[in-house]
Amino acid sequence: MPASVWIPLSFHPGYVAAAGAAAAKNPIILGNISMAKKPTSPDKTKAAAKPAKPTAPAKKPAAAAPSPAPVIPAAPTQETLPLEPAPVEVVATETPVEAVVPAAPEVVAAIAEPVPAEPETAAVVVEPVAAEPEAVTAVVETVPVEPEAAVVEPEAAEIVAEPVPAAPPLIDPEPEGEPAEPQSTHVEEPLPDQEPVEVHLEEPEVHHHHRPSLFIVQIAPEMAPVAKVGGLADVVFGLTRELAIRGNHVEIILPKYSGMRYDHIYDLKEVYKDLWVPWYDGAIHCTVYFGFVYDRKCFFIEPHSNDNFFNRGSIYGFKDDVLRYAFFSRAAIEFLWKSGKHPDIIHCHDWQTALVPVFLYEFYQRLGMTHPRVCLTIHNFQHQGVTGAELLKATGLHDPARFFDYNRLRDNQHPNALNLLKGGIVYSNFVTTVSPRYAYETKDQGQGFGLEPTLHTHHLKYGGVVNGIDYDVWNPEVDRHIPAQYGVDTIERKYDDKRALRHRLMLADNAKPIVAFIGRLDPQKGLDLVRHAIFYSLQRDAQFVLLGSSPYQGINEDFWNLKRMLNESPDCHLEIGFDEELSHLIYAGADMILVPSRFEPCGLTQLIALRYGTVPVVRSVGGLADTVFDKDYSHRALHERNGYVFENYDGTGLESALGRAISCYYEYPDHFRELMKNGMRSDNSWNHPGRDYLNIYDYIREK
């Protein structure tokens, strides 16, 4: 008899689809522009002064080391926009240009950016993959629909599940209106001791104070602030704190990098001196350390071998990265087993730890580690950990025929390669990505970088949860990096930060808006549109500030050349590099933040900008579409509209959104001020994501 199950899920509204009859038909896979020169500043001097232009009264000195605390000079002109309600009659396009500004090119192609081709991949014929007895899998589909109703948190109920006979394999149906992909000739081999279970999805009320405390272990390659490369580090740090606040016991396992920020680790000590991790035909000796990163409980694994896996000065960027993180994944699960830890949930992040569920199923369940359930969060599908057969020899996965299978680790595009991220999707109990829109794009719009067939096969356990930001770190009311703290009711103080930003970067102190870009100078971020926006902003009588650097030498050189070309403008400053204090000051002092990404899984930049009352101008992709709602064209309530959005990746789309933002700043300052306040009132903390992840954890534990 099919089991009737109450499943507590309250993902992003509109993104949870009832299973109903669909579950009965599908076997459930378990386990599974003004160029006048800048005025000189008493705080800075040029190393080599340039000859003054005839039309410009003064030169801009070269940037010296920034002073620790910005000094706010008396403003030559009192700025009243947009915080003064009276509109100012200024037509930006008619403003005379004091000197010649390089015109924005008609075709936006200043910086060549390769766009990954969208491969045509075959759909997968699937039979049920192994699970433990009496397991149930969620039926969750993501649909790109903006929710308008508040999330209702359901109550968990007891699960009574009866196994039913295995159904014949079915092809996952294609979405209506899209051509079906050719069927693969590879049929998935069922893993032992698993039977599909029919699921009936219902949503009873839930009272979270009745939720039992969970033991959760996060296994990640990085975590802020001790080892940070990108947004993944911030997510691990923020989510861990939220889960602990909700009454759970949370621990984190990280590699012990030689270049970590040890000044942020307290009471670091050895706790496990003799951890031997199987590797090739022998084992590598490791030491495990324990310490606190603020209130986060962290274990750090240090291998002692000639490979020096994590003693290299940087986190990523080595030819053997796949082997380095395969070893870390094996070491993490080996440590849990040897130390007698039995977590309820193991939460892994990205391809670097995607082998954890593979090792758990293939090695450790037979040793008695049957309790943990695994959730894998994919932060960016562009990076997947594709490698060769050497991985099998190193990790002890000695059956090539088993793992070079299209329904396990075999890469969808390269038949002689293994894909770590794909293995994580297949073997995990649930897979999330960092926004509902990105989940839809990766599965149905060709943004999965070859993993679209795998996501279709495992769509019943795949969904999106929008990231949050840490409100302890990003809070303009208490931010120690800015000279003037402010809140939604004291937003006029934001002008003090704006004047401080201009003083630090030696921009002209005037009534112009400041447009800013903060982030990696990476092709994903839409760098040709960033360059276009610099010239367009100057032509529209706005100032532009950029803070960022690139791992690619050619891109860095391009922006250094652009910096030299615009160095004399009093309305533009490009800072090539990264400065934590300056980033806070830009978020507080800018009027608009630009995020024109080609694709964006979630994005933290726009969330921080909203927190600081800085209006985002974004492209409607991924998490940007889930968090920024256009002032003029969104169907949401007026109080939920918080920015400007464009669809097409071209200069016309960018100019439409950025132009509307600049016009609103000048012509309707009261409307612009309301946009600022709408952003500050929105809740982009870890409160909602933390609740959603706990619902996922509850579901996979009870299935």
Sign of the torsion angle spanned by Cα atoms 530, 224, 586, 378: positive
| Strand 386-387 versus strand 418-419 pairing type | antiparallel
Question: Under 8 Å CB-to-CB from 548, ≥6 apart: which residues?
Answer: 517, 518, 519, 520, 521, 559, 575, 576, 578
Q: How far is CA 574 from CA 38, 530, 543, in A?
A: 13, 12, 11
Task: State how far the Cα of 132 lies from the Cα of 74, in Å rounded to an integer.
Answer: 70
Measuring CA to CA, which residue among 658, 454, 435 is closest to residue 539? 658
Q: For residue 602, how far is the Cα from the chain centroid?
A: 5
Q: Which amino acid is at 115?
A: V
Cβ–Cβ under 8 Å, residues 188 and 166: no
| Strand 572-576 versus strand 543-548 pairing type | parallel
Q: In which residue are the tokens 């100012």 written?
A: 88
Measuring CA to CA, which residue among 218, 225, 219 is closest to residue 240? 218
What does the block give as tokens for 674? 């309301």
Sign of the torsion angle spanned by Cα atoms 358, 524, 647, 664: positive
* Residue 228 known to bind ligand: yes
Task: State how far the Cα of 116 lies from the Cα of 123, in Å rounded to an integer.
Answer: 20
What does the block give as tokens for 315? 């986190």
Q: What is the 3-state secondary structure (H, E, C) of 383-406?
A: CCCEECCHHHHHHCCCCHHHHCCC
Q: Cα-Cα-Cα-Cα dihedral of 211, 213, 218, 224, to 10°?
A: 90
Q: How far is CA 149 from CA 66, 356, 614, 623, in A?
A: 47, 37, 26, 19
Query: Residue 517: phi, psi to the nearest 5?
Result: -130, 130
Q: Which amino acid is at 181?
A: E
Q: In which residue are the tokens 């794909």 written?
A: 422
Q: In which residue are the tokens 């069927």 written?
A: 183
Q: Is 303 helix (H, G, I), strand (E, B) or coil?
A: strand
| Strand 543-548 versus strand 514-518 pairing type | parallel
The neighbouring-strand residues paired with 461 are 140
Binding-site positions: 228
Binding-site positions for ADP-alpha-D-glucose: 228
